[in-house]
Amino acid sequence: MSHVLTIENLSFKYHKKRVLTDISFSTDPGEFISIIGPNGSGKTTLIKLISKINKPEKGNIHIKGENIQTMSNKQLARHIAVVMQSVEPVAMSVEEYVLLGRLPFFKKYQFFETAKDMALAHKYMELTGILKLKDAPINEISGGERQLAAIARALTQQPLLLILDEPTSHLDITHQIKILELISSLKQELSLSILMVLHDLNLAAEYSDRLVLLGGENGKIYQTGTCEQVLSEKSIQEVYNTKVKIQKNPVSKRPCIFLVTQNALNPE
């Protein structure tokens, strides 16, 4: 099986500040990978490199075997779609916003969407549960609904790889689970490769097939592997400098992280 995304020996500096060093990993179709790591460990920078917002200092990024540096932004947008942390409350309807996902497919001198574009936008608004909001202004729906609209827009790009940077960070637990359940179902239904930055380690453990833990020495990957391999008390202590206990979630059997507070360690 050929990889969707292949990252080889990627390094990056902001001016003189080294942020990422020698990053290598790949994703397969239908695979859900979460990038985890402490604040400042380079998660968003990695996404910016894959989206061609920044250029690597060293190393290569390939999508389906093609180096992204040789692709135009429009070509890249036909393969990868990115959902950022929050959606700007722009003055347009949900439907207009979702249709923006079809822009990479517009032909020269095409100004209006085709019937196919409209059908795709409707299909993915339906799949994400926001079709009923299609005429609502984006700036008048809730944060969770806006995030669903951003996912619908990304899906109308029909990407091979869906990248999400903390898509649940501003949402309550109901909406966090709703979005992660949706994304999990998409990876199977659409055979999408998912790359997600997640702060919440327990959510990452529940939904991811594999984890990439940033925060190694000098911006290296500390560890990649299954959730069981990567989430250990030792790795969390070393990378996050925080004491935790890890046990199996009694329902999913995935690793579940418990904070160890000073109060609990030293009860009065």
User: Which positions lie near ligand ADP, rule CB under 6 A?
Assistant: 14, 17, 19, 37, 39-45
List Cβ neighbours of 259 (8 Å cut-off, separation of 6 or more): 242, 244
Q: Shortest distance, CB of residue 63 to ligand ADP, whole angstroms?
A: 21
Q: Shortest distance, CB of residue 23 to ligand ADP, whole angstroms?
A: 12
21 vs 156, which CB is nearer to ligand ADP?
A: 21
List Cβ neighbours of 110 (8 Å cut-off, separation of 6 or more): none
Q: Shortest distance, CB of residue 25 to ligand ADP, whole angstroms?
A: 16
Neighbours of 166 (CB within 10 A): 18
192 vs 239, which CB is nearer to ligand ADP?
A: 239
84 vs 186, which CB is nearer to ligand ADP?
A: 84
Q: Cα–Cα distance between 94 and 146 in angstroms, integer? A: 8
Q: Shortest distance, CB of residue 216 to ligand ADP, whole angstroms?
A: 13
In sign, the C-alpha dihedral spanning 232, 201, 20, 40 is: negative
Considering only CA atoms, which of 237, 255, 232, 210 is closest in space to residue 30? 210
Q: Shortest distance, CB of residue 249 to ligand ADP, whole angstroms?
A: 25
Residue entry with tokens 């992280």: 257
3 vs 18, which CB is nearer to ligand ADP?
A: 18
Q: Cα–Cα distance between 255 and 56 in angstroms, integer? A: 34
Residue entry with tokens 């460990």: 41
Residues 84-95 as b or e (16 or more Cβ within 10 Å = b) = bebbeeeeebbb
56 vs 101, which CB is nearer to ligand ADP?
A: 56
**Alpha-helical segments (H) within the chain:** 43-50, 73-77, 94-99, 115-127, 143-156, 173-189, 201-207, 227-230, 233-240, 262-265
Q: Shortest distance, CB of residue 239 to ligand ADP, whole angstroms?
A: 11
Q: What share of the chain is helix, strand, coil (3-state, %, to 5)?
A: 40, 25, 35
14 vs 258, which CB is nearer to ligand ADP?
A: 14
Q: Shortest distance, CB of residue 14 to ligand ADP, whole angstroms?
A: 3
36 vs 227, which CB is nearer to ligand ADP?
A: 36
Q: Shortest distance, CB of residue 47 to ligand ADP, whole angstroms?
A: 8
205 vs 212, which CB is nearer to ligand ADP?
A: 212
